[in-house]
Amino acid sequence: MIKLFTGFMAGLVLVFSLVYNLFGGLMFKETPSPFGVEETVARIQQNIQNVGNGWALVGLRDPAKAVQNDGGNVLPVMLIEACSTNYSGPILKNDKVRFLSLLIPCKVSVYKKNDGKTYIGTMNAAFLGRLFGSDIGEIMSHVSADQAKFLLFDASKPAPAIVRPAPPGASGGAGATAAGGC
């Protein structure tokens, strides 16, 4: 009986260890960028505006600046916020899954690491959607497909200008760059 219990506990520890170490890799994706932080941000913003499916830019945040203003020294990090009412609408209309509004707007993180390279961080929307059933899975699979399009870069084209959000209140929203936003 002790061997059975010990084996069971060892199995639990192994399973929890695997989940702990692999879960981050399942939930989030990190992609290297061939460009610097600002150019990567500008190219992603342009792709979001061009992908269709109701996507609009709703914000651009610079969390590194806040840390720097507090006296900290961190590498650049910018968060692009985008939303598609085509995808957010069904979630926001459904009481059972409205808590997923935490995921709205969709965020794309662009940051520099100590190796001097720029990276793009995204949530694995397709994986996350499958955790909440077939309806949400269907919506999030479309979000995932669009996210992949956000990260397609044509280096032969000149870099677009970065879209800086209007100050809060200037456009009727909290830094929204598109009418309505999400």
Question: d(Cα 59, Cα 107) in Å, to the nearest integer?
Answer: 9
Backbone angles phi, psi at 58, to 5 degrees: -125, -5
Give the global pTM: 0.78
pLDDT in tens, 28-86: 889 999 999 999 999 999 999 998 888 999 999 999 988 989 888 889 999 999 999 89
Instruction: Provide the residue ranges of all domains of the chain, joining segments of one domain with +.
Output: 28-150
Task: Walk across the sheet containing 28-33 and list its strands.
Answer: 28-33, 118-123, 106-112, 77-84, 55-61
CATH 3.30.310.70 corresponds to the domain 28-150: yes
For residues 14 and 54, the model is more confident at 54
pLDDT in tens, 146-170: 999 999 999 999 999 998 876 655 5
Quick count: other Cβ atoms within 10 Å of Cβ 5? 9
